[in-house]
Amino acid sequence: MGGTLFTGAAIFDGASLRPGALLVEDGAIAAILPPGASPDGAVEHRLPGGILAPGFVDLQVNGGDGVMFNDDPSRATLERIAAAHATLGALTILPTLITDTAETTRAAVAAVEEAVRAGVPGIAGLHLEGPHLSLARKGAHDPKLIRRMEEADLRFLCDAARRMPRLKITIAPESVDKEQIMALSNAGILVSLGHSDAPFATCIAAAAAGARNVTHLYNAMSQLTNREPGLVGAALRAPGLSAGIIADGLHVHPAALRLALAAKEGPGALYLVSDAMAPAASEIEGFTLNGRDIRRADGRLTLADGTLAGADLDLAQALRVMTREVGVPLAQALSMATSIPARVAGLDRTAGFIAPGRTADLVHLTSDLHLMAIWRRGDPVAPFRRRAQA
């Protein structure tokens, strides 16, 4: 039989934790075996306790290793960002382009197409966050580039969706009409509501038209109040809406996360995103976005006026926040970094689970959720490193 037999750690398969041993052959999961199993020819790799889990799935990655996707939307940049996030355990990512020019957006689509054709590890598609957002909820997005969706934009996006495994777009429903949302959804695009000041009714109508996701719940959106529930209320009330959350303890208070988890109705689920920027897996202290300086200090990334600009976060850190500060059970937290985002993005046939026949993209975590080791297709990923230069 041969292969490598991972023993000594609990196995999280994407749904539950279980004792056992994991057999990997030729870069794929061959079997989950009972504890003590010893298949012929397998080489045992004994782990010192902890948890063996699927590689993390991160649907919002703006940069890493000192670079932003916006700065150079090319295959080389994608390779660098994906390699950086692999060292953080995120073995499947959606690189994210923050609101930019039409020229840069076209280049981003072309870069992802090229990367997917070339089989660049970890690149599962593209997330376009803007430019069809609300000026009132722009956050760190450049207001000069925000605009309503036009017919040419719709045609471009629907065409792009046919040329890559997954396209996710973040839009504000006040900048994109219901017919456009329906067309985008019918083209296979994951339509996500975000950076919006729209009222509850408008957001519910967008969900009825085909929107299925909400970008970084609570942040850059109309809030839940007693007379107007806003996009936050719609995200928690509409059964078909899932939502990413930035669990760094800064973007959203742990108590607000507990309330969201308790309030969420129906099959739509909450999951973790890093919203990582250039500093991920690097030591840089600042970078630029659309010509504006962003500084890194005390776990925050901010514009000069203090506006949060993405997050200085990885998903292992987010798991620790969810379990320690929010009080989420371990298996539920792990699913929020693996199987749930994989399902939301339609990537669950290739990522987010440990099961026979699946690719052996694995992370080993200590019992307190610190990364110990990472394997892509059964091969070890180089140890975590930080790059000093921009």
- Catalytic option among 275, 314, 348, 361: 275
Strand partners, 28: 25, 359
Asked whether the beta carbons of 339 and 14 are under 8 A apart, the reply is: yes
Confirm whether 275 is a catalytic residue: yes
Number of helical H runs and strand E runs in the chain: 10, 23
Q: How far apart are CA 306 and CA 326, in angstroms?
A: 25
DSSP string over 74-140? SHHHHHHHHHHHHTTTEEEEEEEEES--HHHHHHHHHHHHHHHHHT-TTB--EEEE-SS--GGG-TT
Which 8-state DSSP code applies to residue 145?
G
Parallel, antiparallel, or unpaired for β 286-289 and 292-297? antiparallel
Q: State the Cα–Cα distance between residues 280 and 212, nearest whole angstrom.
A: 28
Spatial separation of the C-alpha atoms in residues 249 and 270, rounded to whole Å: 16
Q: From CA 362, how far away is CA 91, in angstroms rounded? A: 8
Phi–psi pair at 337, nearest 5 degrees: -110, 0
State which H helix or E strand residue 244 sits in.
strand 242-245
List residues with catalytic annotation.
275
